Structure 1
Amino acid sequence: MVTDRRHFLAAAGAVLLAPQLLPLRALAADDAPRRFVSGLRRETGDFALALIDARGRVLAQADMPGRPHAIAASADGRLLAAAARRPGRYLHVLSGDDLAPLAEISAAAGRHFYGHAAFSPDGRLLYTTENDYDAETGDAETGVIGVYDLKDNGTRLGEFASHGTGPHELRLMPDGVTLAVANGGIATHPDMPRLKLNIDSMAPSLVFIDRRTGSLTGQAVMPPEWHQLSIRHLTIAPDGLVAVGMQFEGARMEQPQLVALARPGDTYLTPLPLPDAELARMKGYCGSVAFDVAGHYLAATSPRGGMAVLFDAVTRRYATTVRLADCCGVAAAGMPGRFVLTSGTGAVREIDAQSNDIHETGQSGGAFDNHLTAI
């Protein structure tokens, strides 16, 4: 049961460069190796989480009751939260060491998950994007942020508004207080699981919310003519710069930019320009975004385009393109400029944006899902 909001609040206290393709070369040994976790569809058709290293070696697997979307990691990497793909109702908390199950959470009545979650700095609270699909206001479905106490076996403390419709990815800002939330702007209902109900009137936004009070502290949007750019995914650099990846729901002949930047206090998002040919290949769809560990380089994937594009986030210039069929998962590797990519074909690649090296690391016995998380 959802707690009273007041009780909860008290308790929860561009210059373009010519396109390039990365050559296939071996990378030097990683001085700061990382592990990664992703959803996986096994060859048998069932679903799991897979813990892998940068070379694509599977270290552990955990069964999932359905298709998981994204996996959130606590700051120390000891806790993971795997949320069901929209409009799913399960969320599993697992050990970051070996994927051992720790807690199972079900969506509250009248709610479903959107596939993403974020931890408080100490790992005690978990925040999830959810849909209040039978909102008492009678308006279009309302986005909410659910809050769960992991020290109390995932008890739901309550919720606060996402200040938009269709919240998707959320992440904690470096200040440890502010949640950045991508409101995709698309209304949905579990009775019509994948139907988009308000394309003509959608109003996406990137919002900043004080996690202690649920109050809106900032909002950035695209200009009104691009209101059909659904702001879906985001990544945050160490200095607080936010990058978003968008999916276009408008006319096919239009070709808006799909990656943009913002900081708290900005009114509008600033698009990162791609060359026309690369933008066309993305087919209006950015699947995931990630900064490298230094916040200097930015990677954005497009499974529809079979590619990842890299930007220099400091100069705000396009850098290069990596071709990889059904490429969607991306995460920062342990060294500046390094990324790991995963694919729906089961492929794993490590790339270096500074040297233009790519290393073909491995091939799983299944299909990786949309997102990859470094722990």
Structure 2
Amino acid sequence: MIPSVYEDEDHRGRMRYTLTETEHGHAWGVCAEAEGLFGEPQRGTYELFGWVPQAEVHGWVGNRVWLVPDDETLDPWLLEDAENSGQLLGTDSLVLTGLDDYEGPPEGHRGRVRVHDGHRWLGSCLEFARVLPREQGAHPLVLRGLAPRDQLRAALMKGTRRALDLEQAFLEIQDDQGEPLTERLLWARVSTWRPSSYGTDLIDLELDGELVTPVPEYARPIWERWLAGPPDTAAAWAGLDTRRRWAWHALVRERACRRTHRDRPAGHAYELDGRHVTDEPGLYLALGEAVNGPGGYFGGCLAALDDCLRGTFGYTAPATLFWRDAATAREHLSQALSPGGQPYDLFGVVLNLLAEGGVHVTLA
């Protein structure tokens, strides 16, 4: 078992980070600080020609933005965490960036494409083109104050290029209470290492492999909050905007996947504080806390909510849910759009899903 605390005469503290080999699961080492964890992920960039707006699009556009080709033989295409880079001067083009996994309609697609954010139509364009990004070098990840395990010590002593290529690894992350929080996958190649000022027998290990999913800078304060430990009061996320609520929910979900949940017995009565359910992440954060307390998880989309209702996430059917201030959710979530752009009532769908899962809901 990997110890969560490493102590010597110079350095005392809980180790947040464990560098773990993916194939066999052995630990290369543990440390208290990871420099370079935050950065900007590689984003796809698209120029939308002949942009005709239907709504104002400024800055951050949405967590899920769908491009829907008029040609129904093609499925809608998703941009996650989409941003508007502005309209190009002297043109009628709009530039959007987002996380797209390099998937979407064919580059040669011709024809009108409509764009929506899951709640409203943003506009349409005559055609689009993918803008190839400039080559970006990998940002180093420096594990400071690392307590190396024997296998890592042997690799460093050998010092060959092959020995220093640790290949795929997980950076497993726990909070300051020693509980698993999340992890990041990376390709770990040692570029250099040196004795650490953190303490005797500790090293600063620099890896030149890039993180597969770096943490965006805008999420840093949320991560720092969760690294200190889970919230002890409900709705600690209430003051966040929608983008940062999704970042908060991502940690809620990832933490939940690393914990064992004890289901409450059937017949339990839950209460949901609906005052802050003004957007989709607020809905799932409030549901999670109603079932599992502050920082609790109970779905992040309709499919995940359905899974949670089947058990092993703190709930056993049947049960009751008293939903306070339900009018807030009804006002903000009744008009939604499917990926293909068909309108539906998200609030109503959630109520139906809860009922099908054995939850008797009382709205107040």
Per the shorter chain, which TM-score range?
under 0.3
Question: Higher relative contact order at CA 8 Å, sep ≥6: structure 1 or structure 2?
Answer: 1
Normalised by the length of structure 2, the TM-score is 0.26
Higher strand share: 1
Normalised by the length of structure 1, the TM-score is 0.25
Higher helix share: 2
- Higher alpha-carbon Rg: 2
